[in-house]
Structure 1
Amino acid sequence: MGKKAIIKAVDRNSIAGKIGLLPGDEILSINGQDFRDFLEYKFLMTDEKIKLKVKGNDGSIKEFTVYKSFDEGLGVEFENPLMDDIKRCKNKCIFCFVDQMPPGLRQSLYVKDDDYRLSTAFGTFVTLTNLSQQELNRIVKLSLSPIYVSVHATSPEVRNFMMKNPHSGEVLNVLKFLTSHHILVHCQIVLCPEINDGRILEQTLMDLANLWPHILSIAVVPVGLTKFRERLYPLRAFTKDEADDVINFIEDFQKQSLKRFKTRLVFAADEFYCIAQRQVPAYETYEEFYQLENGVGMMALLKRQMEQNMVKLPPALPRRRKVAIATGVSAHKFLRQILNPLQKVKGLEYTVYPVVNNFFGNSVTVAGLITGADLAEQLKGKEKGSVILIPDVMLRDGDIFLDDLTVEDVGNFLESKLEVVKVNGKDFLNAILGKNGGI
């Protein structure tokens, strides 16, 4: 068993609440079996007759027998769902973003996790380089699917070079093992110019396509580079023409995949279209939007949501309203285009401000990496109106920017109200129009 399965909270209307489990109690076993993390806990909880052995927070040992449906849980939240430490990354990737972060940020931002349990539960990407055969068998036994894998290259030589780990070259064999046991996989490829693009990318996509239908999607994202790369491998960003070539290649591959599998299978990140200064593809081309959190299809989805809701725009607002909208450089032009119909709404004024990333370097253009300081400094003295709208992707832990400034800190500095908005078309439009003009 792991460290301890200590209960943090109990839903009083659940099984746990009805039998009297309390925060601080520890579940020792289920049907006589220990469990090492929340995954085994969920696996054991699929039985319809459950015998629990529990250590109370007063030290007493209690046993309970409960009857439940197959998919019914106890109704508890654990203090640490992993019940032990996070599995750390053992690679030294030449493109690692954590290695490109400056000192002085909060400690959690420097944690390099590579934990398959978090991958299957929360969609984080893992490299599969720190797993024994026993752990791979566990993934199969518990049917931990889908799992999200950072592939980068299937060529052993190229992947070993990129990740500086002698075990990294085995990725294709590991994927073959998992998919042969019906584990579904989403893949990502962090593309670096002149390293894993061109023929290497072509071979990687062909190798992964051969594992269809268990490979569900492949995202190709451009390498992210900050200005903090002293003594790191000399990488560079994609040029406009190179990004254009990547998109053309992926779209050709999509056509082939549609003929073979009835799915496009591989998708370029939105950022490639921004670099190439091309329109993002149509909403329908992203199919199931499997990798939204990886920046794939977010712009097309937002555009569709905005278009659907703009048919309900009011002709005029009951009161004049002026708002500022802050975003990253890469999304600035796109936002201005899709918001253009709002110019017909009488009484509404809005300005979209691109925030240059001085903290990480101006090659970082996404909204999710904008700091509170950059936002504050660049909007100081600008026309802001009654409110400044910022996307929720700028924040961590609720209301904290990457540099530990809070929404309140930045608002006080700018003497303006900051409103955090979900990246959702309807929510975004309602935030711009205000309560009295919302749709």
Structure 2
Amino acid sequence: MIRIARVEPGSIAADLDLPAGLAVLEINGRPIRDSLDLLFHQAEPSLQVLAERPSGERLLLEIEKPTDEPLGIIPEPDKIRRCTNACPFCFVKGNPRKDKLRAPLYVKDDDYRLSFMHGHYITLTNLRSEDWDRIFEQRLSPLYVSVHATEPEIRLAMLKNPRSANINQDLDRLADGGILVHAQVVLCPDLNDGDHLTRTIENLYDRREAIRSLSIVPVGLTAWNAAPGGRTLEPAECRAALAAADAIRERALAERGQGWCYAADELYLQAGLAPPGTAYFDDQDLESNGVGAISSLTDRVAGRLEDLGPLDGCRVVAVTGASMGPTLAGLADRIARRTGADVSAVAVENTLYGPMVTTAGLLPGADHAKALREGGGFDVALFSGQALNDDDLFLDDMSLSELRAEFPGRRVEPSHDFVDVLSGL
């Protein structure tokens, strides 16, 4: 069953006055095990919903609605399927000690439901027979799979899980069931790079339509998981990986009309090269997994500059991570020329995870506050909205309201592309 946390205003569930705490047991006689079942079974136009109040009283709701219109039920969070691997490069293992961050950040998820619904990458190593059956029954396609290597012994060395060596059989099984895959390689020096990367690329490409895309992302280590001896890629290693990606892209563009293989912006930056621009990524939406984020931001700002009016004399500061710093400095200059505002970018070193973690979305609230205190006067401060969760909390549990309280009389705003806030001033 699922239990209602709240309902969407104006939805069918709101019209029915369904209360928080009400359990949804069945829809059209089918058990509702979790939010995925709710998503899957509520699509029908004619529904019989069996529900139960906390008192134990049951009620049967008969609902007629347009096909695919959701009920508007927001369920309590599902129990997450945990990861059973022991990857030395695991980012969850790279979190600081547990009193530094909120508890959910220490959950190693490897949940196929989150892969389908939200694009989380999974390894396929914890699937039971009933999970495979459900994937095919509910057509959970595409799935996002952390392949890392198709050579069984290399993948086993990376994931430390005997089940991980079955990656080729698992990919075959998904393909036979008509499930598409967006594949990912987290590139680790001395593990799955060099010739191993080339073989993985070729193996995945030879699977043709079953592998919808391949993303190559450089390993990200923190001050907490680099200690056992791990290291990040050297510039020459990044350039070698880009050469391997470019080789298969040339072939894919000729044979399929799309690049198919996409190197993350961070791989370009670590190679000492400029990110490639959004055209490189075709129509693939992989930004939430760190692929194309810098290129996408650049294009969004360029495409929306005309939305900006005069802001003469307005002092704007944009806080970001080290990797976005040079790009954002250039965008700040363009915004300043367009608006007449005094626009500056501040690239911040991450004190929570260490200097090797350079993305804006992983900056804690304390680092934002310190940067704004030391950055001089401003009228408007902007930062990446990805640094906040749905409850407007930073990774270190500082709230947006707490950050704003440090700077009374001035605007401190999360932003998607900076123009979204500035165009409303």
Query: TM-score with structure 1 length normalisation?
Result: 0.89
- The equivalences for 1:40-79 within 5 A come to 40-79=37-76
Aligned to 2:129: 133
Is 1:100–2:94 an aligned residue pair? yes
Aligned to 1:183: 179
State the secondary structure of the residue aligned to 2:279. helix
Q: 1:251 to 1:68 in 2, by over 3 A?
A: same
Which one of 152, 161, 166 corresponds to residue 165 of structure 1? 161
Letter in structure 1 aligned against 2:337: K
Aligned to 1:86: 80
Letter in structure 1 aligned against 2:373: K
- The equivalences for 1:3-402 within 5 A come to 4-10=1-7, 14-17=11-14, 21-80=18-77, 82=78, 85-103=79-97, 104=99, 105-229=101-225, 232=228, 234-311=229-306, 314=309, 316-317=310-311, 319-345=312-338, 347-402=340-395
State the secondary structure of the residue aligned to 1:52. strand
Q: 1:129 to 1:329 in 2, by over 3 A?
A: same
Question: Are the counterparts in 2 of residues 328 and 370 from structure 1 also a CA contact under 8 Å?
Answer: yes
| Whole-angstrom distance in 2 between the partners of 1:69 and 1:345 | 46
Letter in structure 1 aligned against 2:314: R
State the secondary structure of the residue aligned to 1:320. coil
- For residues 267-316 of structure 1, the C-alpha deviation after alignment (integer angstroms, 9 at most, x for no partner) is 111111221221221322211132111111122222222222224555x5
Question: Are the counterparts in 1 of residues 314 and 341 from structure 2 also a CA contact under 8 Å?
Answer: yes
| Whole-angstrom distance in 2 between the partners of 1:156 and 1:207 | 12
Query: Could you tell me how far 1:426 is from its partner in structure 2?
Result: 3.4
Query: Could you tell me how far 1:18 is from its partner in structure 2?
Result: 5.3
Range with bigger deviation, 30-39 or 417-426 = 417-426
Query: Could you tell me how far 1:418 is from its partner in structure 2?
Result: 5.2
Q: 1:423 to 1:252 in 2, by over 3 A?
A: farther
Give the % identical residues.
34
Q: 1:35 to 1:382 in 2, by over 3 A?
A: closer
Question: Are the counterparts in 1 of residues 22 and 54 from structure 2 also a CA contact under 8 Å?
Answer: yes
State the secondary structure of the residue aligned to 1:339. helix
Letter in structure 2 aligned against 1:333: P
- For residues 175-216 of structure 1, the C-alpha deviation after alignment (integer angstroms, 9 at most, x for no partner) is 111122111211111100121011111111112112221321
| Whole-angstrom distance in 2 between the partners of 1:327 and 1:404 | 18
Question: Are the counterparts in 2 of residues 89 and 114 from structure 1 also a CA contact under 8 Å?
Answer: yes
Alignment coverage as a number of residue pairs: 423
Question: Are the counterparts in 2 of residues 327 and 353 from structure 1 also a CA contact under 8 Å?
Answer: yes
State the secondary structure of the residue aligned to 1:421. strand
Cα RMSD (Å): 2.4
| Whole-angstrom distance in 1 between the partners of 2:402 and 2:14 | 40
Query: Could you tell me how far 1:258 is from its partner in structure 2?
Result: 1.2
User: Mind listing any 5+ residue stretches in structure 2 that lack a counterpart?
Assistant: none
Range with bigger deviation, 96-105 or 14-23 = 14-23
Letter in structure 2 aligned against 1:299: I
Query: Could you tell me how far 1:263 is from its partner in structure 2?
Result: 1.6
Range with bigger deviation, 39-48 or 181-190 = 39-48
User: Mind listing any 5+ residue stretches in structure 1 that lack a counterpart?
Assistant: none
Letter in structure 2 aligned against 1:368: G
- For residues 354-397 of structure 1, the C-alpha deviation after alignment (integer angstroms, 9 at most, x for no partner) is 10123211111111121222333344333232122111122234
Q: 1:198 to 1:383 in 2, by over 3 A?
A: same
Question: Are the counterparts in 1 of residues 380 and 413 from structure 2 also a CA contact under 8 Å?
Answer: no
